[in-house]
Amino acid sequence: MSATEYAKPLPKPSPMSEPFWEAARRHELWLQRCADCGQFVFYPRPQCPNCWSAKLEWKQASGRGRIYSYTVVRRATHRAFTEPYVLAIVELEEGARMTTNIEATPEQVRVGMPVSVFFDDVTPDRTLVKFKPA
């Protein structure tokens, strides 16, 4: 780990999303789940986007999912990123999708590939949720 400052964009959590990022710091993946319609909700919101119920509960997710789609970024639009890197949308077992990085070589990655979560402590107080081949 180099001593240079972390130059990539960092999330700035809101009161709504703080529980998600705090869980990530504990190396846990937590999602909201609607107590009325049962749908898992990502990103955090004050009410369910499916049924507008305000009864959202935080639940720990399995951390397992599949690659819904991905790209290998060979020309980044932000200078702090080292090319190539794999950007993906992962569909979690719980049904919610999230944008993330896959720690794998470009040749390894496939649509539909099973992946599991890991936690990247990018700064002392910020942890990103990433995935690697399961």
Partner 1 sequence: MSLKGKAAAIGIGELKPFKTPGREIALELMARVAAEAVADAGLEKGDIDGFFTCVPFSDPGWLYPASAAEFLGLHPRMLNIVDTGGAAPAGMFWRAAAAIDAGLCNAVLCVIADLNREPEHRLSPFSVQREFEAPYGNIGPNCSYAMIAQRHMFEYGTRPEHLAKIAVDQRTNALKNPLALFNDRPLTIEDVLSSRLIVDPLHLYDIVSPCAGGAAFVVASRDIARRAKHPPVWLLGAGEHCHHSSITYAPSITSSPVQAAAQTAFGQAGVTHQEIDFVSLYDCYTITVLVSIEDAGFCKKGQGGPFVMEHSLTYEGDFPCNTHGGQLSFGQPGLAGGMSHVTEAIRQLMGRGGERQVKDAALGFVNCNGGVMSEQTSLILERKS
Interface with partner 1 (CB under 8 A) = 8-14, 17, 43, 68-78, 81, 85, 87-89, 97-101, 106, 111-112, 122, 128, 130
Residue whose CB is less far from partner 1, 17 or 64:
17
Strand order in the sheet with 56-60: 40-41, 30-34, 56-60
First to last CA, the chain: 25
8: how many CB neighbours lie within 10 A of its CB?
13
Give the whole-angstrom CA distance, residue 43 versus residue 22.
14
Instruction: Please report how close the Cβ of residue 130 comes to partner 1 at its closest, in angstroms.
Output: 8
Instruction: Please report how close the Cβ of residue 97 comes to partner 1 at its closest, in angstroms.
Output: 5
Residue whose CB is less far from partner 1, 89 or 133:
89
Instruction: Please report how close the Cβ of residue 111 comes to partner 1 at its closest, in angstroms.
Output: 4
Instruction: Please report how close the Cβ of residue 122 comes to partner 1 at its closest, in angstroms.
Output: 8
Give the whole-angstrom CA distance, residue 123 versus residue 108.
28
Residue 117 CB burial class (10 angstroms; 0-12, 13-18, ≥19): buried
Residue whose CB is less far from partner 1, 17 or 47:
17
